[in-house]
Amino acid sequence: MQMETLCTERLILRPTSEADGAACLDIWLDDEMGRYLADPPRALADERYLNFAVGIEEDDSWYPMVAIHRESGVFVGTCSVVPTEDGMCWDLGYCVHRDHWKKGYGSEMVKRLIEEGRHRGIRAFTAAVAQENAASCALCRKLGFRVWKSDGSFAKCGTDIVYPEYIWRLEL
């Protein structure tokens, strides 16, 4: 099952398809753009990562989306929703291509996902963010999230890099 296409003032958020795999990997596995993601560096990506989009249209464990600029059709980034077991909370993820940093696209994507969640009766949203990721922490703060947990960490796959993390939470 996939989420329907969502629109914002400047973006179209549509379900990720197998054809989007290369564009997604270009940002997630990039040393700079994917720095604060758990995904491995490109040189360490195994077949599972490189083929993540195969069959993605049938994966109902999460709702991966790509962000496309409405006017130009250019790929801007990715965002996703992972529902909790009880279905009352959505864990949000987002990544913006460096060509579009500092233009408000991350906020625009997350705001639209929150609106959709509110419409569906979702009561809370979370986002796991590396504590040193100042831009993402600022985005969460700006949208009304509060640090819910600050004692965890995550490792960048295939490396010795471990990031202390904040779990940000927004209650509706």
pLDDT at 171 over 70: yes
Cα 70 to Cα 6, 42, 75: the distances in Å are 11, 29, 10
**Which pLDDT value is given to residue 60?**
85
> Looking at domain 6-171, which of 3.20.20.140, 3.30.465.10, 2.40.50.70, 3.40.630.30 is its CATH number?
3.40.630.30
What CA–CA distance (Å, rounded) separates 111 from 98?
Answer: 20
| pLDDT tens per residue, range 73-127 | 999 999 999 999 888 999 999 999 999 999 999 999 999 999 999 999 999 999 9
**Which pLDDT value is given to residue 1?**
53
In the chain, what are the domain boundaries?
Answer: 6-171
Cβ atoms < 10 Å from Cβ of 14: 17
